[in-house]
Amino acid sequence: MASMIHRLQRIVQEVNRAPGIDGALVLITKSLTRDLAADACTIFLASKDNPEVMILKACSGLNPDIIGRVERSMGQGLIGTIAARAEALNLTNAPEHKKFLLVPDSGEVDFPIMLGVPIIAHRHVLGVISVQRAENAFNEDEEAFLTTLAVQLATSIERAESQGRFSTPQQTHLVKGVAGAPGMAIGVAMVLNRGVKLESVPDKKTTDIDAELSSFQEAVSTVCSELIEQAEKMRVALPEEECALFLAYAQMLSGGSLIDDTVKNIAAGNWAPSSWRDTVEQHAHVFSQMEDPYLAERANDIRDLGLRVLRKLMLGQGAFLDFPDQTILVGDDVTATDLADVPTDCLSGIISAHGSSSSHVAILAHALGIPAVMGVPNLPVKQLDGVKLVVDGYNGSAFINPDKLVLDEYNQYLKEEAAIEQDLIGLKNEPTITTDKHPVSLMVNSGLMSGHTPSLRSGAEGVGLYRTEIPFQIRDRFPSEEEQFQIYRNVLETFKGMPVVLRTLDVGGDKPLSYFPIHEANPFLGWRGVRITLDHPEIFVTQVRAMIRANRGLNNLEILLPMISGKAELDDSLILINRVRDEIEEEYGEQIRLPKIGAMIEVPSAVYQIEHICELVDFVSIGTNDLTQYLLAVDRNNENVAELYSSMHPAVLKAIYQIVEGAAKNETPVSVCGELAGDPLGVMALLGMGIDNLSMSVGSLLRAKKVIISFSHAELIEMLQRALEMPDAFLIREMYACKLDERGLGGLIRAGK
């Protein structure tokens, strides 16, 4: 058994290392012929132009002239039968099988024993591998071996094939991922890191030590000034704390052992890049060995910084400042700080091989109005630098090397989108009211941006969800009561006279705190949100104190409790909040009004206890992002199951309806603050349920308003009743999308009008 795993691993590693698909396939056929003591091996792969046709791509033990010449459609011959049935065939006499089709001049007549298995990835048959022998049937172990190999190779082949396709970069190619942030862009790819890696720096000796020293010092000081400049620029879009990261990097370059050790290496006769590489690696290694996970994580910061300086050293100054006017940032895993590398007026789009719509970078892109496509499997990142791209953030796809047809189509879409935007801007001072005069309150979700001006300018009536965890996440320790007070006061003051819903700390799950590491097998089902803060009342109390103090004299604060799964958590939270209020009352010697307290309904158990919950709170806010993930058992961040994740699923809509009905018994106000509230189709469904308070990202606000003023409440109620009868999310979305189209509003949910 061990040797089987070993052999499998070796083949997969060989394939992954092969530079292109052809080399990879040849390797597989050779290894299989050897490892299974077979006489021949063939690999057929689905044609790029017609996936219903399998083409012979590689063989060993047969006449090589047949490669590329043999084709099998679905169900045709044994290969076509394996592909059509998507199951293995193990035959002791293949020519006797009724589907057998001889490949003339191949030499296969000599090998009647045949074992073939399909290669399947993401439900698609990518090809068929078969092995043949003159004698000795393939036994069960061998069949199991080939099946296991095919499963493992499916991913490698998918990737190798996808990258092989780009050996002719002129071809237009569509890649699909997950919609990260809406919008469209046409631009030129800028690949992060551009292949410059610390580990690939070669060793070299130098005789001109002074020249190496001065190029190193120049690179360091350029990076240093760039970091300070970036911190300044990002201040407009990001909170102070996030900018502090750039300043901390700059500090590390201003002196200390990182610089001194490199200088020593250069003085010993090594060229600057390898001297720098060695110092960075040594420092990063020391940190990575530390037990404390926070310190161990700092190894990545050092490597990140190391890469920045290396880029300057290797490519010369200015190379990385040459951004195309319409830059599409492309990377394996684009992060929020990567955005800082691109001047804001050049950044047009983002494509990341990993991540999802809930990734920090996607939320930031959404807030900045930049389209993003996330989680694109097999994105040929290395081959994209400088390549023209079309990004479609509505449906999560991108065209690589778009041809004239695609470009014309998207240029037309962009024109139409500009016209839609123009039309929407005119709505900002209009009342949000349906055609039959039903008023709706539109609020913004915040927490990420320091400046609240865009929210106010968009006509928001308050903040429906302030995610306080973001200021916690970008620090390297818990923020003090005073620091929190300043943050909360700022938002409460900006929205003076309007409600501001501050949510208590919701960390855990996919929102880690580097300085409070939690290791769990199932983080989404573990220690999250209010479960943590109730176990750590010191964190909760400090936060609520800062909130209530910040509210003095303004009285527009509302407190929202995340991840409530039962009555006990609410009871405990209310005891603490009341205690804090009493303390502050005593400290300041004035009467302090208790702010309105709400519970987030985002855990299915809360849906079934809605009436009891409503007895304890002033309002409830539905977190459709988590409610969807928990009801459908679909990880909201996992690109493999992204297609199953839909907040318009009938089960989710029914749960929301149940919340609305339950809350109505107690006359408790209901709002929605998950992404569904900003989705034009979601807006239609939620209004139909009688929800009239929606909180969303600022970029969605005017689109939502356009939808609301275009329909009557009565017709939305009627549509909802039909939606609740439907069996799946696709049909429900289709119905609402058709209604939007009928009103000429299709451009709100997709590229083009």
Distances (CA, A) of 506 to 280, 470, 601, 637: 35, 9, 13, 16
**What's the min distance (Å) between Cβ of 622 and ligand PEP?**
7
Residue number, 118 or 182, with CB nearest to ligand PEP: 182
Non-local (6+) Cβ contacts of 518 within 8 A are 508, 512, 526, 527
Taking CB under 5 A as the rule, does residue 469 contact Mg ion?
Answer: no
Is 713 noted as a catalytic residue in this protein? no
Kind plus residue range of the DSSP H or E element containing 454: helix 453-457
Q: Which does 238 bind (CB under 5 to 8 A by kind): ligand PEP, Mg ion, none?
A: none
Question: What does 692 bind: Mg ion, ligand PEP, none (CB cut-off 5 to 8 Å by kind)?
Answer: none
CA distance 732 to 649: 8
Q: How far is the CB of 445 from ligand PEP (least distance, A)?
A: 7
Instruction: Report in angstroms how near the CB of residue 610 gets to ligand PEP at its nearest.
Output: 16
Catalytic residue among 59, 243, 614, 673: 673
Q: Which is nearer to Mg ion, 177 or 623 (CB)?
A: 623
Q: Smallest distance from the beta carbon of 535 to ligand PEP, in angstroms?
A: 19
Least separation in angstroms between residue 72's CB and Mg ion is 50
467 binds, among Mg ion, ligand PEP, none (CB under 5 to 8 A by kind): ligand PEP
Residue 692 found at the interface with Mg ion (CB under 5 A): no
Identify each DSSP E strand in 314-449 by its residue range. 327-331, 347-352, 372-374, 388-392, 397-400, 441-446
d(CA 671, CA 667) in angstroms, rounded, equals 13
In whole angstroms, the minimum distance from the beta carbon of 504 to Mg ion comes to 12
For residue 427, the partner it binds in Mg ion, ligand PEP, none, with Cβ less than 5 to 8 A by kind, is: none
- Nearer Cβ to ligand PEP (72/467): 467
Q: Which residues contact 63 (CB under 8 A, 6 or more apart)?
A: 105, 106, 107
Based on CB atoms, which residue is closest to Mg ion, 156 or 621? 621
Q: For residues 359 and 624, which CB has a smaller minimum distance to ligand PEP in the complex?
A: 624
What number of CA atoms fall less than 13 Å from residue 670's CA on the CB side?
Answer: 28
Total Cβ atoms within 10 A of residue 471:
23
CA distances from 664 to 126, 565, 719 (A): 53, 20, 21
* Opening angle at CA 468, ends 466 and 472, nearest 5: 155
DSSP 574-631: HHHHHHHHHHHHHHHTS--PPPEEEEEE-SHHHHTTHHHHHHH-SEEEE-HHHHHHHH
**How far is 395 from 374, CA to CA, in rounded Å?**
11
Q: Which of 97, 354, 360, 536 is catalytic?
A: 360
Subset of residues 592 to 621 that bind Mg ion, contact rule: CB under 5 A: 602
> Which ranges of 37-178 would DSSP assign to H, the alpha helix?
77-85, 140-165
Radius of gyration of the chain (CA): 30
Q: Which is nearer to ligand PEP, 384 or 672 (CB)?
A: 672
- CB 76 → Mg ion: shortest distance, Å? 51
Our CB check for Mg ion shows the closer of 109 and 525 to be: 525
Closest to Mg ion by CB, 294 vs 524, is 524
Q: Is 360 a catalytic residue?
A: yes
What DSSP designation does 104 have?
T
Binding partner at 108 among Mg ion, ligand PEP, none, C-beta below 5 to 8 Å by kind: none
Q: Are strands 619-622 and 596-601 parallel, antiparallel or unpaired?
A: parallel
For ligand PEP, the closer of residues 484 and 695 by Cβ is 695
Residues 464, 671: contact at Cβ < 8 Å? yes
Binding site for ligand PEP (CB under 6 A): 465, 467, 506, 602, 623-626, 673-674
What angle separates helix 209-234 from helix 240-252, to the nearest 10 degrees? 170
Instruction: Give the CB-nearest residue to Mg ion.
Output: 626
Name the residue among 587, 663, 589 with its Cα closest to residue 620: 663
Q: Determine if 623 is a binding residue for Mg ion (CB under 5 A).
A: yes
Give the one residue of 161, 242, 626, 675 binding Mg ion; rule: CB under 5 A.
626
Interface with Mg ion in residues 113-172 (CB under 5 A) = none
Q: Buried b / exposed e across 620-641, counting CB within 10 Å, b at 16+?
A: bbbbbbbbbbbbbebbbbebee
Side chain identity, residue 469: E
Q: Is 43 helix (H, G, I), strand (E, B) or coil?
A: strand
Binding-site size, Mg ion (CB under 5 A): 3
Q: How far is the CB of 460 from ligand PEP (least distance, A)?
A: 16
- Binders of Mg ion in range 482-541 (CB under 5 A): none
Tell me if 467 sits within 8 A of 696, measured CB to CB: no
Q: Which does 161 bind (CB under 5 to 8 A by kind): Mg ion, ligand PEP, none?
A: none
Q: Which is nearer to ligand PEP, 434 or 625 (CB)?
A: 625
Shortest separation between residue 697's beta carbon and ligand PEP, angstroms: 11
- Cα–Cα distances (Å) from 282 to 25, 55, 287, in that order, read 39, 50, 9
Cβ 633 to ligand PEP, closest distance in Å? 15
Considering the complex, state which of residue 531 and residue 552 has its C-beta at the smaller distance from ligand PEP.
531
Say if CB 79 and CB 72 are below 8 A apart: yes
Residue recorded with tokens 């979601």: 682
As beta bridge partners, residue 738 has none
For residue 643, the minimal CB distance to Mg ion (Å) is 21
- If one counts every other C-beta atom within 10 angstroms of the C-beta of residue 711, the result is 22
> Which parts of this chain interact with Mg ion (CB under 5 A)?
602, 623, 626
Residues annotated as catalytic are 360, 673
